């Protein structure tokens, strides 16, 4: 593929410390030669700290690695990550979409490896896996066990062999985006997305990425209740809501 445009969709909630550094990293990321323009779509999910002001004061840098635009959206009330992603995906116009969290746990320096299978014409969807030997910060054992369990359960029902279903990094073509139906409000986006693309029959690749996880003191938000919700969503979107 040549001459592709990329939309990076960034849901943000109470990330005043990290959202501007993250947007800078996206704008200056080492996009491959096949990418001719970048669109950043940042969606503030009704943050209650300084996130909205930080986004409002940010401009797409003239020194960015590729020409680009910045789309700023804000919810009038807090709806959840899935809802923020739906808002961002509806506004995204790129040939390829990258889902990017605003918390700096995932590094835009990995964009070349994430985009490569799609730009080469081999894939329609790419997952960036934290468990395929990429460098990562050593943190919580039980989070790792939980992620692997959720991935195993999802794989059993989708018949995929992913190593990291819960990863933030999901990259897909505009054609896939136009066929997607996402209904999740919160963190159910990950299992719902996986169930939906599995049934689409598209070509799915997985590549290793780096991961710089946060502690709860540093702002990590996902807890055990979100794990229970993920189990429910895996069952729901694979068995009933098809």
Split at pLDDT 50, 70, 90, the class of 228 is: confident
Taking CA atoms, 74 is separated from 86, 87, 142, 176, in Å, by 12, 9, 34, 25
Residue 142: predicted pLDDT: 59
pLDDT digits (tens, 9 = 90+) for 53-72: 999 999 999 999 999 999 99
Hey, how many other C-beta atoms are within 10 angstroms of the C-beta on 227? Answer: 18
pLDDT digits (tens, 9 = 90+) for 200-215: 999 999 999 999 864 5
pLDDT at 216 over 50: no
- Buried-exposed string 166-200: b where 16+ CB fall within 10 A, e elsewhere: bbbbbbbbbebbeeeebebbbbbbbbbbbbbbbee
User: CA–CA separation, 88 vs 42, rounded Å?
Assistant: 7
Q: Does the structural domain 4-240 have CATH classification 3.30.2350.10?
A: no
Domain ranges of the chain: 4-240
Split at pLDDT 50, 70, 90, the class of 137 is: low
Q: What is the pTM of this model?
A: 0.92
């Amino acid at each position: 593929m040549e001459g592709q445009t990329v939309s990076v969709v960034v849901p943000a909630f109470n990330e005043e410390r990290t959202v501007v550094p993250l947007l800078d990293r996206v704008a200056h990321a080492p996009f491959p030669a096949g990418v001719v323009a970048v669109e950043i779509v940042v969606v503030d999910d009704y943050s209650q700290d300084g996130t909205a002001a930080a986004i409002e004061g940010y401009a797409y840098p003239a020194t960015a690695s590729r020409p680009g635009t910045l789309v700023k959206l804000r919810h009038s009330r807090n709806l959840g990550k899935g809802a923020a992603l739906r808002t961002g995906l509806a506004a995204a116009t790129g040939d390829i979409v990258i889902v990017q969290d605003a918390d700096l746990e995932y590094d835009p320096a990995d964009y070349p490896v994430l985009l490569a299978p799609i730009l080469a014409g081999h894939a329609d969807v790419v997952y960036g896996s934290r468990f395929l030997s990429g460098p990562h910060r050593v943190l919580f054992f039980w989070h790792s066990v939980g992620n692997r369990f959720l991935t195993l359960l999802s794989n059993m029902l989708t018949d995929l062999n992913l190593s990291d279903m819960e990863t933030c990094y999901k990259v897909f073509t505009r054609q896939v985006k136009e066929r997607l139906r996402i209904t999740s409000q919160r963190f159910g986006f990950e299992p719902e997305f996986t169930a939906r693309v599995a049934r689409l029959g598209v070509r799915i690749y997985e590549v290793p990425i780096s991961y710089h996880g946060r502690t709860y003191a540093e702002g990590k938000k996902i807890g055990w209740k979100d794990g229970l919700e993920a189990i429910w969503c895996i069952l729901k979107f694979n068995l009933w809501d098809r």
